[in-house]
Copies of this chain bind each other. A is one copy, B any other.
Amino acid sequence: MFAAESLVKTLLAQDVEVCFTNPGTSEMHMVAALDRNPDMQAVLCLFEGVATGAADAYARMSAKPACTLLHLGPGLANGLANLHNARRAHAPVVNIVGDHARDHLKLDAPLTSDIEGFCAPVSRWTGRVSDPSQVSAMAIEAVRQAYGPEPGVASLILPADCAWSDQEPDILPKAELPTRESISGNWLAETAAKLKTAKNPILYLGDLACQEVGLHAAGRIAKLLDCRVIMETFASRVSRGSNRFSATRLSYFGEAALEDMKDCDLLVIAGSKPPVSFFAYPEVDSELTPQGAEVVMLGGVKTDSAAGLTELADLLECPAEPDLAERAKAPELDRDQPLNPGFVGLSLLRHMPDGSVICDDATTSGLGVFPWIENGPDHEWLCLTGGAIGSGMPQAVGAAMACPDQQVFALCGDGAAAYTCQAMWTQAREKQNVINVVFANHSYLILNFELDRVGAGTPGPAAQAMLDLSNPKMDWVALGTGFGVPSVLTKTAGEFDDALVHALATPGPHLIVAEI
Contact = CB atoms under 8 A, between A and B. Distances in A.
A368 interface: no
A96 interface: no
Interface string A276-287: 111110100011
A41 to B, nearest CB: 9
Nearest to A384: B110
A463 interface: yes
Contacts of A117: 117, 120-121
Sorting the interface of chain A by its residue count into under 10, 10 to 19, 20 to 34 or 35 or more gives 35 or more
Interface stretch (A32-40, A183-191, A214-222, A494-502): A32-40
A160 B279 contact: yes
Contact of A107 (B31, B287, B466): B287
A111 B277 CA distance: 11
A484 B46 CA distance: 21
A49 B451 CA distance: 24
A482 B511 CA distance: 14
Contacts of A445: none
Contact of A47 (B273, B419, B484): B419
A23 B461 CA distance: 16
**Which of A29, A110, A286, A450 is most buried by chain B, counting CB atoms within 10 A of its CB?**
A110
A49 B29 CA distance: 29
The number of times this chain is found in the oligomer is 2
Interface stretch (A80-88, A192-200, A319-327, A374-382): A80-88
A451 B121 contact: no
A463 to B, nearest CB: 4
Interface string A3-27: 0000000000000000001011110
A25 B450 contact: yes
A96 to B, nearest CB: 14
A133 interface: no
A25 B466 contact: no
Contact of A479 (B446, B447, B483): B483
A90 interface: no
Interface string A99-119: 011011001111101110110
A164 B110 contact: no
Contacts of A245: none
Interface stretch (A138-146, A308-316, A402-410, A452-460): A452-460
Nearest to A77: B80
A418 B429 CA distance: 15
A358 to B, nearest CB: 19
Interface string A377-391: 000000001111010
A29 B429 contact: no
Contact of A32 (B72, B109, B390, B459): B459
A482 B474 contact: yes
A474 B466 contact: no
Interface string A463-501: 101110101111111110111100000000000000000
Nearest to A472: B484
A279 B466 contact: no
A161 B280 contact: yes
B101 A36 contact: no
A462 B390 CA distance: 28
Contacts of A454: 25, 28-29, 160, 164
A435 interface: no
B73 A84 contact: yes
Interface string A413-457: 001001101100100110000000000000000110011001111
14 contacts: A28-B451, A34-B463, A44-B466, A47-B390, A109-B286, A111-B388, A164-B455, A164-B456, A425-B472, A429-B471, A472-B484, A475-B484, A478-B481, A479-B479
Given A25-B454, A35-B459, A103-B280, 4 more contacts: A24-B447, A26-B279, A118-B121, A418-B422
Interface of A: 2, 21, 23-26, 28-29, 31-32, 34-36, 38, 42, 44, 46-47, 49, 72-75, 77-78, 80-81, 84-85, 88, 100-101, 103-104, 107-111, 113-115, 117-118, 120-122, 160-161, 164, 234, 273, 276-280, 282, 286-287, 385-388, 390, 415, 418-419, 421-422, 425, 428-429, 446-447, 450-451, 454-457, 459-463, 465-467, 469, 471-479, 481-484
